[in-house]
Amino acid sequence: MTRTYLDYASTAPLRPESRAAMVEWLRKEEPLRGDPSRSHFEGLAARTALEDSRERIAAALSVRPRQVLICSGATEAIATASFGATNRRAGREQDTSREQGTSGKHSVVSAVEHSAVTKWADRGESTTVPVDETGRVNVGDVAEAIRADTAVVHLQWANHEVGTTHPVPELAELCTESEILLHVDAAQAGTQIAEAVASGADLTSISGHKLGGPTSGLLILRKGLRLPPLLVGGDQERARRGGMEDVLAAVGLAAAVEATCSSAVEEAERSRHLCERLISWADQRDGVTMVGNREHRAPNIVCLTLDGIEPQPVLMGLDSAGIAAHSGSACSSEIGEPSPVLQAMGVDAHHSLRLSVGWDSTEEDVSRALDVLDRLLDELGSLRKKP
C-alpha cells in the first residue's frame, strides 16, 4: 500500500540531503571515535565537523556561528531559553549588547503556547495572554501583561495545531523598548525559520526533526547575549551546554537547515497551494470547518473541526487507507484531553483533525486524502443517523 504522510507538524521524514551528510560522516571510521574537546587527530576531526556544521547553520540563517547553540531538540532549546532568561544575574554584566534593568523571574506567555513553554512558565510566576478566535495574540494585550519584574516574553512563530502566526516583529520592538527578552518558539516555522530568526527575537528555538533533519534542535541567541546554562558539567558549546556534543546529529542538522533555507520559497508556495486545496474542500463540505487565521498562517498546517464526529475513527480510517494525520495536540493527545489550544480559542476542542504537509508532499497526497475523507465522513455520518 502506498502511504501518504500528512503529519509534518509532528515530525518530517528525513531529507535526502541530511541522510547523505550523515551517511558520509558514518563512513569515516577514525573521526567517529573522537571527542570534539580533545586535541588528538580523532578529536580534531570531530571538532572540525562540528564547527563546520555550526558555520553552515549560521550562514543559512544569516547569523554568526557563536550565536548558534546546538541542542538535543527544540524542547531542550526552549528549556535553555526559559531557564536562562529567568536566571540571569541581577547586574547582567554578561550581556554586552544592550543595557539591562533589574533581573526578574516573571514571564509572559500566550494562551496557545506549546506545553514545552507553558510548563517552564508554570514553574515560576507568569501571566497568560489570551488569543482571539483565530488563535492570534494581540500586541496590546502582551504590553499590558508586562511588569517591572518581567524577564521574558514567550511567543511562538506559528501555532502547532492551527498554524496561526503571530505579530512577532511588532512584539520584538515592544520587548526591546521594555528592555526584556523575547523568546520565539520557531519549532513550526518550517520554511520561515530564517525569517523567524531575523524577526528581532533575543532567543529563537528551532526543531531539527521538523525540518527533515535528525532529532536535534537549535537555540539562536541575539548577538552579545549570554545566559547561564541549563545543562552544567563541561564547557562544551562555549560553556553554554554541558555534555559531549552529538557530531552526527549536527552534521545532519546542518544539511537540513541548508536545504530548508535554500528551497524555502518553492516549498512554501507548494505547501500553501496544497493547504488551500484542503481549506477549499472544508469550505464546501457540510459539517467541516477550518479553524485558525486565514490571513496570518503557516503555509503547511490546516486544522479542521468535524461537527459531531469523533476524531479517532477518522484517524483510524485514514491510517487504514494509508494516510497519516493527527488530531489535537501532538504532545498531549496520548492522555485523551481536549486540545488546550482550541479551548483557548473558544472553538470545538474535541473534534479536530490536523493535516500538515512538507518538503516531499504532492498533489496526489492531498487528492488521496480528500477522497478518503469524503468516504469516511459519509460513512460515519450515516451511522449517526441510524436509530
Q: Order across the sheet with 352-356: list the strands.
A: 288-291, 301-306, 352-356
Structure confidence at residue 2 as a pLDDT band (50, 70, 90): confident
State residue 134's pLDDT score.
Answer: 97
For residue range 167-195, list pLDDT tens digits in order.
Answer: 999 999 999 999 999 999 999 999 999 99
pTM of the complete model: 0.92
- Check whether 384 has a pLDDT greater than 70: no
Query: What percent of the chain lies above the pLDDT cut of 90?
Result: 82
CA 191, chain centre distance (Å): 11
**DSSP string over 139-174:** HHHHHHH--TTEEEEEEESB-TTT-BB--HHHHHHH
**Of 49, 12, 7, 5, nearest in space to 207 by CA:** 12
In angstroms, the Cα distances linking 53 to 24, 97, 188, 227, 338 are 14, 26, 22, 22, 40
Report d(CA 302, CA 103) in Å as an integer: 40
| Residue 329 scores a pLDDT above 60 | no
| Among 107, 111, 74, 75, residue whose Cα is nearest residue 341 | 111
Exposure of 237 in the CB half-sphere (CA atoms within 13 A): 29
Residues 6+ apart with CB under 8 A from 177: none
Catalytic residues: 331
- Read off the pLDDT of residues 137-150 as tens digits, 9 standing for 90 and up: 999 999 999 999 99
With CA atoms as reference, report the closest residue to 354 among 163, 164, 112.
163
Tell me the pLDDT tens digit for each residue of 219-251: 999 999 999 999 999 888 888 999 999 999 999
Q: Which domains does the chain have, with CATH numbers?
A: 4-11+264-385 (3.90.1150.10), 63-243 (3.40.640.10)
**pLDDT at residue 97 in the model:** 41
- Dist CA 298 CA 309 (whole Å): 26
Q: Per-residue confidence at 382, pLDDT binned at 50, 70, 90?
A: confident
Confidence check: pLDDT of 95 > 60: no
